[in-house]
């Protein structure tokens, strides 16, 4: 949910619940509605933790060191051969 305030998030969840209830009241001409009512308090708690998470995660997570790009396969194999046995030794 991308709502900015808790009251707006609550309104979205309650609107969803009302639409689910309305679909239950309609006659079943096709497939039955399988949506269940959303737990408003549980979703709002999740909304609060997700909203606070980016601020704390950005501060707590160190940036990983950038990886060195690997050379193409034939260059890498040549370098590995050189590392095993120098060309001047016999």
Q: How confident is the model at residue 85 (pLDDT cuts 50, 70, 90)?
A: low
Structure tokens at 17: 């619940």
Contacts of 29 (CB under 8 A, 6+ apart): none
pLDDT tens sequence across 2-49 = 668 889 999 999 999 998 888 888 767 777 767 889 999 999 999 888
- Does this model's pTM top 0.95? My answer is no
- Where exactly are the structural domains of the chain? 1-61
Give the C-alpha separation, 36 to 19, whole Å. 11
pLDDT tens sequence across 45-78 = 998 888 886 555 556 667 777 777 766 777 777 7
Q: How confident is the model at residue 90 (pLDDT cuts 50, 70, 90)?
A: low
Residue 8's nearest CA partner among 43, 37, 36 is 43
Give the C-alpha separation, 78 to 84, whole Å. 10
Structure tokens at 90: 């016999």
> How far, in whole angstroms, is CA 66 from its chain's centroid?
22
């Amino acid at each position: 949910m991308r709502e900015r305030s808790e009251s707006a998030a609550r309104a979205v969840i309650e609107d969803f619940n009302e639409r689910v209830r309305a679909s239950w009241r309609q006659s079943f001409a096709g497939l039955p509605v399988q949506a269940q009512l959303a737990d408003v308090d549980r979703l709002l708690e999740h909304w609060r933790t997700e909203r606070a998470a980016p601020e704390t995660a950005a501060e707590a997570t160190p940036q990983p060191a950038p990886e060195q790009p690997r050379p193409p396969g034939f260059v890498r194999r040549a370098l590995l051969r050189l590392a095993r046995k120098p060309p001047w030794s016999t």
